[in-house]
Amino acid sequence: MVSVVLDNLAAGLSIDEILDSYPSLTKEAIQACIAYAADLARERIILMAA
């Protein structure tokens, strides 16, 4: 469902429009999707043994 929310936001839909289309969602769930996507997009440095 995260990808559906993000796809809708990327298409320009507002949070209220998404909530109208998916009444089982909450505003907090949409905010959690955004936070999850932000976390995935962060750069991470992974140190590997030589």
What's the pLDDT score for residue 36? Answer: 95
Distances (CA, A) of 25 to 7, 41, 45: 15, 23, 34
What's the pLDDT score for residue 46? Answer: 79
| Lookup: tokens for 45 | 């440095």
What's the pLDDT score for residue 37? Answer: 95
What's the pLDDT score for residue 3? Answer: 96
Please tell me the chain's helix, strand, coil percentages from 3-state DSSP, rounded to the nearest 5: 60, 0, 40
Dump pLDDT digits (tens) for 3-49: 999 999 999 999 999 999 999 999 999 999 999 999 999 988 878 88
| Lookup: tokens for 38 | 């932000």
| Lookup: tokens for 46 | 């992974």
Are 9 and 18 contacting, i.e. CB atoms less than 8 angstroms apart? yes
What's the pLDDT score for residue 17? Answer: 98
The whole-model pTM stands at: 0.80
